[in-house]
Chain A
Amino acid sequence: MAHEETVYDALDHAHGGEGQWAFGTGFDDPLAGVDTTIPDGVDAADLGAYCLMLGDDALVLCQRLTEWATRAPELEEEVAIANCGLDLLGQARLLLARAGSCGVLGRSRQHATDSIPDEDALAYFRDPDEFVNHQLVEADGGDFAQTMVRLLVASTARLALFVRLRESRDPVVSAIAAKGVPELTYHRDHAARWVLRLGDGTAESHRRAQAAVDAVWPLTADLFTATDVERRLVEQGVAVDPAPTRDEVRDVLTMVLERATLTVPAWPADRPSPGRAGEHTDELAPLLATLQGLAREHPAATW
């Protein structure tokens, strides 16, 4: 079969004639040709669990951002939000694929058929208690101000981690982080400019922006305490301890809020992240139902 007639024949041929999987991700392994050997002395289960944490944060935030499709205040903003979501989806896909290559699949394989790639099985066939994202990203997006404040907080914290993860001993994590840094820089700048515009805008936009800050701030408590998995991987030079990033993250957020004439609420006391332990608010299950419904209804669908 060396002479396919069309690109689609070639795609089909590359996948053993199974056609494309319904969700557009069955085309190819996102880590095809990447050396996925686990570095010496690194526990594969820990590395996979860590990639799942970082991947789930991106996947769930992406889903919240895409809720703005067809609802954003202006067309340019809709495109901007979709762009941020797409970057996060790309990061999630690579990280979930890395988790899969480490053998971390949870109960997803009990439901997913064999032809579904690992990263799709993880995204579409895990139940809410198996997701390990921070509660920050699953909270209902609220109004536009809350979406932008949350994006500011989430991208500031993630950027601080990714800048450091470029030095990870796992070459795959290091490459994903290096690729993510410029993307997250764009997201953070975009969100910060909106917070500035809303906070220092009209009385109504200021009121909403302050309400958004007050709603999002308590969730920053979860971002800076390493889990046991992270602690072990920090010792092995694979993960980044979030605790030392706290001051940097707070400084950036404080600077934006002050410039936006918003009041910086008292910082909440750090606590171990319930989300990292699979404990979630009631808001995650409906989000996942939307994300996963089609894949679960038609697991072998093609188009």
Chain B
Amino acid sequence: MSTALEVAQTVTDPELPMLTLADLGVLRDVRTEGEQVVVEITPTYSGCPAMGVMRADLVHALHRAGFADVDVRTVLSPPWSTDWISDEGRRKLAAGGIAPPGPATRHTGPIPLSLGPTRRTATCPVCGSADTEELSEFSGTACKALRRCRTCREPFEHVKEI
């Protein structure tokens, strides 16, 4: 029989189904308290609309594996960072046509204003060219930016650093 952790680790993200919640760094903890399985997840962005589905998917998977008593809890702190996406998650993103994020910047004091286009290196997931440009810092989901490859001209999404 699989452990609760093993079961929870198989649950995929509703919006990036090539990744598990564990790959994405959203699955923070799985533990047993008496008879109860306690799962902790954290939202990527404050307005992430997928939290309810993630919660239901986790409960559903654990129920099917025979864990009757499951409590999925939200943790807000520390806030999710793209740095928590695992190497395996980055590989799966690229294989799925989405450029993985670079390292996130952390500020402790006032945040400097950035008036120029964001300097990012994102490799085209289609042809591998490094010559890509940003079309918009916002894309189909809150966690992605929209870019275009200057070599093969394909537009693609990029998980932006946060």
A interface residues, Cβ below 8 angstroms from B: 2-4, 6-11, 14, 24, 27-28, 30-34, 76-77, 79-80, 82-84, 86-91, 93-94, 159-160, 163, 171-172, 174-176, 178-183, 185-186, 188-190, 192-193, 196, 248, 252, 255-256, 259
Contact = CB atoms under 8 A, between A and B. Distances in A.
B128 to A, nearest CB: 25
Residue of B56, B68, B80, B109 with most partner-chain A CB within 10 A: B56
Interface string B49-69: 101110111011001101010
Interface of B: 40, 43, 45-49, 51-53, 55-57, 59-60, 63-64, 66, 68, 71-80, 104, 107, 109-111, 113-115, 118, 135-140, 142, 146, 160, 162
Contacts of A24: 49
A172 B76 contact: yes
Nearest to A75: B136
Given A86-B49, A190-B138, A196-B115, 5 more contacts: A2-B63, A27-B51, A34-B73, A76-B135, A79-B139
Residue of B79, B104, B114 with most partner-chain A CB within 10 A: B79
Contacts, number: 146
Contact of A14 (B40, B43, B59, B136): B59
Contacts of B75: 33-34
12 contacts: A10-B57, A10-B59, A11-B56, A14-B55, A34-B73, A76-B146, A189-B118, A192-B115, A193-B115, A252-B113, A255-B113, A256-B115
Contacts of B80: 179
Q: Which 4 A-B pairs have CB atoms at the shortest separation, nearest pair first?
A: A33-B73, A90-B47, A27-B52, A90-B46
A182 B79 CA distance: 10
A125 to B, nearest CB: 21
A299 B114 CA distance: 44
Contact of A256 (B46, B113, B140): B113
A222 B56 CA distance: 43
Contacts of B114: 189, 192
Nearest to B116: A193
A299 B106 CA distance: 43
A182 B104 CA distance: 10
A31 B42 CA distance: 11
B115 A83 contact: no
Contacts of A256: 113, 115
B139 A189 contact: no
A30 B74 contact: yes
Given A3-B63, A79-B138, A248-B110, A86 B47 contact: yes
B161 to A, nearest CB: 9
A176 B76 CA distance: 7
B74 A34 contact: yes
A77 B146 CA distance: 11
A178 B80 CA distance: 10
A82 B45 CA distance: 14
A79 B136 contact: yes
Contacts of A196: 115
Given A2-B68, A4-B60, A175-B79, A11 B52 contact: yes
Given A28-B51, A83-B142, A163 B76 contact: no
A31 B74 contact: yes
Nearest to B73: A33
Contacts of A34: 73-76
A149 to B, nearest CB: 15
B146 to A, nearest CB: 6
A163 B110 contact: yes
A259 B160 CA distance: 26
B66 to A, nearest CB: 8
A190 B51 contact: no
Given A34-B74, A87-B45, A90-B46, A178 B79 contact: yes
A83 B160 CA distance: 13
A88 B140 CA distance: 17
B111 A186 contact: no
Contacts of B48: 90
Contact of B142 (A86, A93, A159): A86
